[in-house]
């Protein structure tokens, strides 16, 4: 039943960008025998030379129509194969045109023509993908069905074989959802007299989205949008109940540990990563080259192609949207990284993160029609690479190594807490869609306090600036699950560097349609949903954070005595504040005025120290790093570029 539902609104109403190998002139081939990846070709072409009009609607419709007829006839194997190839090719082209339209629009938010073209392509994509799905349904239910089931795999075959065309009601709901998202994008960029005013304006849009998405879920056969998103939207192989148990363990074990880690990170000068580092994009990338190659020759090869074809826009501009993401370009066997850099050292983390996505996409040959992006796996590609760079930071930036290492680990734990907090709120809200804005605001404060995150991210006013909640509901837990997997790789790297790299490469070779738990098991990593796994991970990491890993031998540079000398007794939050607040707060008081930005969730946020007063029977004062997402915007829920 769920497979059928997954094939209805989620496929037709979204933009799933994928990569398919195509034989083209001027292409280079990668992968094959002896490689982690399957063989694939990549066309050597820059973004400027890519064809924005390559999709031929007439050719697609003609091929789809004929394919539906021919597949009912015997002895038409060759013709069915030819028409099937056209359908795959044209949907790959449309996916690429959609990606290019988004890139052009985000590169200049003042370009009205680009905005109009972006909207037009988005609408066309929904219509064409609906027709493509209906066409594949006919093929699978024909005498040629078994041949093409093997071609596309059982999961995709089940989705398409039982696909139902969108009803007029469903089309209207999807259109209305997109209209509200577009309105949110516009109003998010407006100036407001106060945070309260912004909360009221954007909050009302959220309430409308809440109702529309509830109707979408009900049209798909679900009682609420929470279950619908988990099962039909993100292709997850874990349940809401699994996450509920995970969140509880995170609250009990990781929240106190996070604050101990924060204190140690501050002692190591972690805020140095927010110092100015204003270099050209080319100079920044040149620094990375030898270390990409050191991780793996195949990663180095992908990085070389990425630079040679200039498949990036990392320059800073007021006209660009303030975000970072990677988007697939399947018609060219390639991808593209977009960022609006800040000119600080933490730009380094953004580039490494996004290249983790690029490397995976670059090697993935899955056609667009068969790519259901599992963000849990996709984010391991990016966050895992960030932590594999851990031993190189000092070599890359002498004198900054310790600060950058602690920041890399700190960021992973912060992502876990934030993702769990917002997922908890989303589950409560979408299961109770009649909540008022005031009730949602109060819920934000309550949950934020439980995770120690009542800051400029998880509070009753500025949560409306967290764009994922509006554009990609239930996406955020993927940052937490993938961060836990990345930390597993980090733990493994401290003991056996080669094994950790091998594990990462295996994960990066899995297509993003592969389910998270299955990939973790296949690569020998722990089940994060098993009780005690998170606790054990925390204990192990407490012993290795701050120790330099030797990337050559794969062993730690000492036997642990360095860490034992540094390790301090873990304190409760009030105790930590009492012992550290004076020095920490006074030293960073000036920085609080300006705030800092960092790269969690692929975007930017302001980072500063603040003191939060928890009012209640167990009132306590805690010091924490406050997070504030920069205003940014991106496309609809399942548009799914990699952040």
Q: What is the pLDDT of residues 194-220, one digit of tens each?
A: 999 999 999 999 999 999 999 999 998
pLDDT over 70 for what percent of the chain? Answer: 79
Residue 566 is predicted with a pLDDT of 39
pLDDT band, residue 371 (cuts 50/70/90): confident
Between residues 563 and 414, the one the model is more confident about: 414
Render pLDDT for 249-276 as a digit per residue (tens, 0 to 9): 999 999 989 888 888 888 888 889 999 9
Residue 268 is predicted with a pLDDT of 83
Residue 606 is predicted with a pLDDT of 28
Residue 166 is predicted with a pLDDT of 80
355 Cβ contact list (under 8 Å, min separation 6): 288, 292, 303, 306, 326, 337, 385
Residue 610 is predicted with a pLDDT of 24
DSSP-derived 3-state class of residue 621: strand
pTM: 0.79
Residue 397 is predicted with a pLDDT of 93
Residue 608 is predicted with a pLDDT of 24
pLDDT band, residue 551 (cuts 50/70/90): low
Residue 178 is predicted with a pLDDT of 87
Q: Which helix (H) or strand (E) holds 43?
A: strand 40-43
118-122, 502-506, 575-579, 624-628: range with lowest mean pLDDT: 624-628
Residue 553 is predicted with a pLDDT of 44
Between residues 316 and 10, the one the model is more confident about: 316
Residue 356 has pLDDT above 80, yes or no: yes
Average pLDDT over all residues of the chain: 80
Q: Minimal CA–CA distance to 483: which of 537, 413, 385, 406?
A: 413
Residue 636 is predicted with a pLDDT of 34
β pairing state of 324-329 and 334-339 = antiparallel
pLDDT band, residue 32 (cuts 50/70/90): low
Contact 325, 643 (CB under 8 A): yes
Contact 157, 140 (CB under 8 A): yes
pLDDT band, residue 641 (cuts 50/70/90): low
Calculate mean pLDDT across residues 36-48. 92
Which residue shows structure tokens 């996450």? 243
CB atoms within 10 A of CB 602: 23
Residue 322 is predicted with a pLDDT of 79
pLDDT band, residue 374 (cuts 50/70/90): confident
121-130, 237-246, 369-378, 594-603: range with lowest mean pLDDT: 594-603
Q: Which domains are seen in the chain, by residue range? A: 2-190 (1.20.140), 573-629 (no CATH)
Calculate mean pLDDT across residues 33-44. 90
188-192, 216-220, 521-525, 623-627: range with lowest mean pLDDT: 623-627
Provide the token pair at 608: 């500063």
Listed in sequence order, the DSSP H helices in 141-167 are 145-152, 154-161
Contact 446, 378 (CB under 8 A): no
26-30, 124-128, 445-449: range with lowest mean pLDDT: 26-30
Residue 43 has pLDDT above 50, yes or no: yes
539 Cβ contact list (under 8 Å, min separation 6): none
Residue 186 is predicted with a pLDDT of 83
pLDDT band, residue 289 (cuts 50/70/90): very high
Residue 595 has pLDDT above 60, yes or no: no
Contact 20, 330 (CB under 8 A): yes
351 Cβ contact list (under 8 Å, min separation 6): 284, 285, 288, 314, 337, 339
Residue 33 is predicted with a pLDDT of 74
- Phi/psi of residue 281, each to 5°? -60, -40
Q: In whole angstroms, give the CA distance from residue 472 to residue 353.
A: 20
Render pLDDT for 420-445 as a digit per residue (tens, 0 to 9): 999 999 999 999 999 999 999 999 99
Provide the token pair at 58: 């007439």
pLDDT over 90 for what percent of the chain? Answer: 57
β pairing state of 312-313 and 334-339 = parallel
DSSP-derived 3-state class of residue 407: helix
How buried is residue 46: exposed, middle or buried, by Cβ count under 10 Å (0-12/13-18/19+)?
Answer: exposed
Residue 267 is predicted with a pLDDT of 84
Residue 539 has pLDDT above 70, yes or no: yes
pLDDT band, residue 454 (cuts 50/70/90): low
Q: In whole angstroms, give the CA distance from residue 58 to residue 67.
A: 14
117 Cβ contact list (under 8 Å, min separation 6): 101, 104, 105
Calculate mean pLDDT across residues 50-61. 97
Between residues 610 and 196, the one the model is more confident about: 196
Q: In whole angstroms, give the CA distance from residue 383 to residue 498.
A: 18
Calculate mean pLDDT across residues 433-462. 86
Contact 176, 218 (CB under 8 A): no
Residue 26 has pLDDT above 80, yes or no: no
Q: In whole angstroms, give the CA distance from residue 29 to residue 532.
A: 44
* Strand partners for 313: 338
Residue 512 is predicted with a pLDDT of 67
pLDDT band, residue 452 (cuts 50/70/90): confident
Q: In whole angstroms, give the CA distance from residue 253 to residue 593.
A: 32
Residue 236 is predicted with a pLDDT of 85
Provide the token pair at 274: 């927010």
pLDDT band, residue 547 (cuts 50/70/90): low
pLDDT band, residue 605 (cuts 50/70/90): very low
């Amino acid at each position: 039943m769920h497979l059928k539902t997954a094939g209805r609104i989620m496929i037709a109403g979204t933009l799933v960008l994928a990569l398919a190998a195509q034989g083209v002139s001027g292409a280079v081939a990668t992968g094959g025998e002896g490689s982690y990846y399957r063989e694939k070709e990549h066309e050597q072409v820059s973004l400027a030379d890519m064809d924005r009009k390559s999709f031929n609607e007439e050719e697609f419709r003609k091929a789809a129509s004929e394919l539906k007829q021919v597949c009912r006839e015997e002895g038409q194997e060759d013709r069915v194969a030819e028409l099937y190839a056209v359908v795959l090719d044209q949907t790959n082209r449309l996916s690429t045109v959609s990606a290019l339209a988004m890139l052009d629009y985000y590169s200049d938010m003042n370009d009205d023509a680009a905005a109009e073209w972006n909207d037009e392509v988005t609408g066309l994509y929904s219509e064409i993908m609906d027709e493509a799905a209906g066409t594949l349904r006919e093929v699978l239910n024909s005498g040629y069905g078994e041949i093409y089931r093997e071609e596309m795999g059982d999961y995709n075959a089940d989705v398409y074989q039982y696909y139902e065309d969108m009803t007029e009601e469903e089309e209207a709901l999807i259109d209305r959802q997109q209209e509200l998202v577009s309105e949110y994008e516009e109003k998010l960029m407006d100036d407001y007299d106060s945070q309260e005013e912004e909360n009221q304006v954007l909050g009302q849009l959220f309430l409308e989205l809440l109702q529309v998405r509830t109707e979408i879920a009900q049209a798909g056969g679900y009682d609420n949008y929470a279950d619908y998103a988990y099962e039909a939207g993100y292709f997850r192989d874990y349940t809401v109940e699994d996450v509920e148990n995970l969140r509880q363990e995170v609250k009990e074990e990781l929240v106190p540990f996070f604050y101990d880690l924060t204190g140690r990170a501050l002692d190591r000068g972690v805020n140095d990563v927010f110092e100015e580092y204003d270099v050209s994009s080319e100079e920044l990338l040149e620094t990375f080259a030898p270390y990409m190659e050191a991780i793996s020759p195949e990663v180095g090869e992908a990085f070389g192609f990425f630079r040679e074809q200039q498949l990036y826009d990392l320059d800073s501009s007021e006209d660009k949207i303030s975000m970072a993401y990677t988007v697939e370009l399947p018609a060219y066997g390639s991808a593209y990284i977009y960022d609006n850099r800040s000119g600080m050292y933490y730009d380094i983390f953004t580039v490494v993160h996004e290249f983790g996505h690029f490397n995976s996409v670059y090697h993935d040959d899955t056609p667009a029609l068969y790519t259901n992006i599992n963000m849990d796996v996709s984010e391991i590609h990016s966050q895992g690479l960030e932590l594999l760079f851990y031993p190189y930071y000092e070599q890359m930036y002498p004198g900054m190594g310790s600060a950058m290492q602690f920041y890399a680990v700190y960021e992973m734990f912060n992502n876990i807490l934030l993702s769990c907090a917002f997922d908890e709120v989303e589950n409560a809200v979408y299961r109770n869609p009649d909540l008022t804005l005031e009730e949602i605001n109060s819920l934000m404060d309550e949950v934020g306090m439980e995770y120690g995150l009542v800051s400029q991210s998880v509070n009753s006013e500025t949560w409306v600036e967290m764009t994922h909640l509006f554009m990609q509901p239930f996406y955020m837990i993927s940052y937490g699950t993938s961060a836990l997997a990345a930390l597993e790789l980090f733990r493994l790297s401290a003991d056996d560097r080669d094994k950790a790299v091998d594990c990462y490469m295996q994960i990066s070779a899995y297509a993003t349609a592969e389910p998270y738990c299955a990939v973790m098991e296949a690569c020998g990593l722990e089940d994060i949903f098993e009780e005690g796994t998170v606790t054990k991970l925390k204990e192990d990491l407490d012993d290795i954070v701050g120790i330099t890993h030797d990337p050559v031998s794969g062993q730690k540079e000492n036997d642990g005595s360095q860490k034992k000398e540094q390790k301090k007794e873990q304190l409760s939050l009030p105790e930590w504040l009492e012992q550290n607040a004076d020095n920490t707060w006074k030293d960073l008081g000036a920085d609080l005025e300006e705030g800092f930005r960092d790269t969690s969730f692929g975007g930017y946020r302001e980072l500063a120290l603040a003191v939060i007063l928890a009012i209640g029977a167990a009132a306590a004062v805690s010091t924490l790093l406050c997070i504030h997402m920069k205003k940014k915007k991106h496309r609809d829920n399942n548009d799914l570029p990699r952040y």
